[in-house]
Amino acid sequence: MEDPRMTSARLVLQECFWGDYQMTAKELVDGLEANELGFDRFLFSKIMENSPYPSRHIRVLFHPDTWRTLLDRYFKNARNTKRVRIVAANLTGNYDLATEYQWRL
């Protein structure tokens, strides 16, 4: 069975990079594991901006402490868009961030 990080990395390269960078899934995972300066922020922003399933990839590729820190930073610096709020709500479980998408009883 394939490592979920490699599967996610391969999808992120297809969905988020559009051939702009010459990188393999292994290089992407290795870059995260090596804590390359700024690589985690770069990758996080690519996923947030371009992935059809950002929450899934962020959870798989990043350690929870890391994605929480990156999300806080991104949330403060990003435009207050519905997409960012929805992803943040999905990742954190704080659905008050996207109240317009909560089910009504």
User: Would you kindly state where each structural domain of the chain is located, as residue ranges?
Assistant: 4-101
pLDDT, tens digit, 9 for 90 and up, residues 26-69: 999 999 999 888 999 999 999 999 999 999 999 999 999 999 99
Q: Which two tokens stand for residue 80?
A: 């207050």
3-state per-residue secondary structure call for the chain: CCCHHHHHHHHHHHHHHCCCCCCCHHHHHHHHHCCCCCHHHHHHHHHHHHCCCHHHHHHHHCCHHHHHHHHHHHHHHCCCCHHHHHHHHHHHCCHHHHHHHCCCC
Residue with more model confidence, 61 or 1: 61
pLDDT, tens digit, 9 for 90 and up, residues 79-104: 778 889 899 999 999 888 888 776 65
Which residue has tokens 């770069």? 42
Residue 105 pLDDT level (bands cut at 50, 70, 90): very low
